[in-house]
């Protein structure tokens, strides 16, 4: 049986959840998922891409850019001895076309190393910043995510290819917004833990993919390092909502969405992203989901009847 490998950077879990969908729908492959995490100043040992037939790269979108750890991980991967089929997918909390530009930097770097990219996909998942998504939004997002990943997996298995490169004229602003890479390293003094709320469960320490949070048991103090990726896994996953993320705290979303359970709840209406969308939500989602509908119809997938 052919083998697939998916390298994933994921903070709050959305991108990892989508990677699991690829594993589910890539039925022609035995799929391994590797989550990118740091150990000190190095990445944890990772599977060798040479041993696989298909390589995937998954990441969330931060300010229309790939996260810095994903960029660094891809840059340090060795050159392949022979070309390998590859694909990329990214997750974000809104359907704006600008999110499609986020993977261009790693696609360019990895292409030089022998990765032959066949497809590039953008999957909308619930926000972990800006505002909390309603159960109706979460259900629609996950059902569509299943359908779109199934479509993409089937395309990859039958050898489908598309142009994954986007000209600089259309993405000129992406390097400018890359200032988020710098801010992640500078925001440490602004990160705070409310001692009155904190129960010392250490979930923030365990969940940080960068090992950027440490706890001094003798002093009873938490310390945030200078290697923050802005993934907000710490604040999103804090059961006591005890973590302040500094200048971005007003956009903080706290607490798990229980995405799969919500998507299976028949009492929640579906679909949500329809003609009734108004205001900011129409701008953020309407075009994305109408394009998704067209793609799914072209590939004989009826979203109204799709079962997860």
255 torsion bin: left (phi>0), alpha (psi -120 to 50), beta (else): left
pLDDT (tens digit, 0 to 9) for every residue of the chain, 308 residues total? 999 999 999 999 999 999 999 999 999 999 999 999 998 889 999 999 999 999 999 999 999 999 999 999 999 999 999 999 999 999 999 999 999 999 999 999 999 999 999 999 999 999 999 999 999 999 999 999 999 999 999 999 999 999 999 988 788 889 888 988 999 888 888 899 999 999 999 999 999 999 999 999 998 899 999 999 999 999 999 999 999 999 899 999 999 999 999 999 999 999 999 999 999 999 999 999 999 999 999 999 999 999 99
C-alpha–C-alpha distance, residues 18 and 31, integer Å: 13
Neighbour count for residue 261 (Cβ, 10 Å): 11
SS3 198: coil
pTM of the model: 0.96
Kind and range of the H or E run holding 193: strand 191-193
Burial of 225 (0-12, 13-18, 19+ CB in 10 A): middle
70 torsion bin: left (phi>0), alpha (psi -120 to 50), beta (else): alpha
| pLDDT tens per residue, range 134-187 | 999 999 999 999 999 999 999 999 999 999 999 887 888 898 889 889 998 888
């Amino acid at each position: 049986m052919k083998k697939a490998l998916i390298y994933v950077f994921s903070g709050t879990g959305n991108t990892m959840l989508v990677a699991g969908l690829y594993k589910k729908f890539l039925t022609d492959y035995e799929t391994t998922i590797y989550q990118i995490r740091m150990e000190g100043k190095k990445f944890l040992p990772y599977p060798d891409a040479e041993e696989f037939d298909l390589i995937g790269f998954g990441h969330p979108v931060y300010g229309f850019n790939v996260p810095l750890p994903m960029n660094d991980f891809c840059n340090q991967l060795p050159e392949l001895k022979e070309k390998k089929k590859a694909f990329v997918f990214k997750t974000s909390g809104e359907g704006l076309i600008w999110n499609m530009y986020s993977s261009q930097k790693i696609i360019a770097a990895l292409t030089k190393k022998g990765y032959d990219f066949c497809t590039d996909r953008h999957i909308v998942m619930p926000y972990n910043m800006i505002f909390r998504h309603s159960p109706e939004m979460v259900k629609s997002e996950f059902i569509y995510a299943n359908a779109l990943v199934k479509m993409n997996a089937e395309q990859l298995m039958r050898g489908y290819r598309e142009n994954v490169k986007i000209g600089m004229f259309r993405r000129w602003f992406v390097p400018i917004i890359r200032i988020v890479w710098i801010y992640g390293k500078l925001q440490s003094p602004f990160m705070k833990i409310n001692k009155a709320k904190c129960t010392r469960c250490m979930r923030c320490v365990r969940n940080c993919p960068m090992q950027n949070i440490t706890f001094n048991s003798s002093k009873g103090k938490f310390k945030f390092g200078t290697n923050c990726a802005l993934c907000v896994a710490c604040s999103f996953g804090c059961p006591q909502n005890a973590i302040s993320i500094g200048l971005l705290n007003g956009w903080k979303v706290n607490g798990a969405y229980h995405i799969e359970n919500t998507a299976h709840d028949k009492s929640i209406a579906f679909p949500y992203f329809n003609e009734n969308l108004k205001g900011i939500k129409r701008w953020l989602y309407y075009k994305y989901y109408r394009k998704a509908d067209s793609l799914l119809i072209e590939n004989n997938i009826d979203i109204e009847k799709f079962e997860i």
